[in-house]
C-alpha cells in the first residue's frame, strides 16, 4: 500500500501553487499593503480592514496567476524531475 502523501501529478501541481501563493503573498504582499496604506486615509478599524482585504485580494490574485504560469513553464512543485518507471509503481 502506498503512503497517502505520495503523488505524481500530471501538469501543474496545484498544491504547490496554493502553498507558494500563501507564503509569497504573506512575505511580499504584507509590506506592499503596509506601504500603500501610508497614503490612504483610514480613520477607523473598519476602513483599515476593508482596505487590507481589497488590496490583499488583488495581490493574492496576481501572485496566484504568476505562480501558476511559473509552475506550468518550469514543472515546479515536482522537484524538477520527471517521474521514472521505478517511482510510478
In this predicted model, what pLDDT tens digit does every residue of 37-81 receive, in sequence order? Answer: 999 999 999 999 999 999 999 999 999 999 999 988 887 766 555
- pLDDT tens by residue, 7-26: 565 778 888 899 999 999 99
Q: What pLDDT score was predicted for residue 47?
A: 94
In the predicted structure, residue 88 carries a pLDDT above the cut 60 = no
User: Smallest Cα–Cα separation from 78: which of 5, 21, 7?
Assistant: 7
pTM of the model: 0.70
Cβ pair 63, 21 in contact under 8 A: yes
Domain count along the chain: 1
The three three-digit cell numbers of residue 68, written as one number:
501558476
Instruction: Tell me the mean pLDDT in the region 3-9.
Output: 63
The three three-digit cell numbers of residue 71, written as one number:
509552475
Phi, psi dihedrals of residue 36, rounded to the nearest 5°? -65, -30
Residue 70 included in any domain: yes
C-alpha of 25 from chain center? 6
Structural domain containing residue 71: 14-77
Residue 41 included in any domain: yes
Amino acid at each position: 500500500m502506498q503512503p497517502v502523501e505520495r503523488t505524481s501529478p500530471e501538469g501543474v501541481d496545484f498544491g504547490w501553487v496554493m502553498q507558494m501563493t500563501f507564503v509569497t503573498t504573506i512575505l511580499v504582499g504584507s509590506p506592499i499593503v503596509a506601504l500603500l496604506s501610508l497614503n490612504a486615509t483610514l480613520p477607523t478599524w473598519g476602513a483599515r480592514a476593508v482596505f487590507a482585504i481589497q488590496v490583499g485580494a488583488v495581490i493574492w490574485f496576481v501572485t496566484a496567476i504568476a505562480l501558476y504560469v511559473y509552475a506550468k513553464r518550469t514543472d515546479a512543485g515536482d522537484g524538477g524531475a520527471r517521474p521514472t518507471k521505478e517511482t510510478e509503481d
